[in-house]
Amino acid sequence: MMEKTFAMIKPDGVDRSLVGAIIVMLEQTGLKLVAMKMLKADKGLVAIHYPSTDQWLSGVGQHTVDGCAELGMDVVKEFGTADPIEIGKMVKVWLIDYITSGSVVAMVWEGPLAVSNVRRMCGNTVPSKAEPGSIRGKYGLDSAVSANAEKRPIFNLIHASGNVEEAVTEIKLWFPEII
């Protein structure tokens, strides 16, 4: 089934001059790059990109709570709360600050099962858990311990839409001219 998906090389990927290498890895899957632009995103755009729903905030917050437990960190000591929604709100602010800290490369990819294929190539969002042949497994350097200690998101090089509905929403947001 032909699909379109959104991917974005984050500021750490751009700063480390990995744009070409990441694009090559995605092209080698057989997907077609149909739109691309480099920009410095403003906070308003990124605030819309990352949802503010309780479901999304809770999911992001719970991921952080679970990560702290896995690392033997006291989540209340680190964040002042164990409430996943409240932690999700903190993480969203960090994400907005991170994505707007430098240039990003926004892209639309097209091909069979584009959403799942791009996510597979990106690898686990925590680089140390990412498969060795994935983008994050090959080029990722950051850890959850460092990110939590420094009160910031994990620098993991790339964002990829999580499902077809999210892809449609993100493509409309970042590339309104092609929808």
Does the annotation mark 159 as catalytic? yes
Phi then psi for residue 148, to 5 deg, are -65, -40
Q: Whole-angstrom Cα distance, residue 62 to residue 60?
A: 6
Instruction: Identify the active-site residue in 46, 118, 159, 170.
Output: 159
Beta strands in the chain (DSSP E): 2-9, 32-39, 104-112, 158-160
Q: Which residues touch 34 (CB under 8 Å, ≥6 apart)?
A: 4, 108, 109, 110, 178
DSSP 39: E
User: Hey, which residues are catalytic here?
Assistant: 159
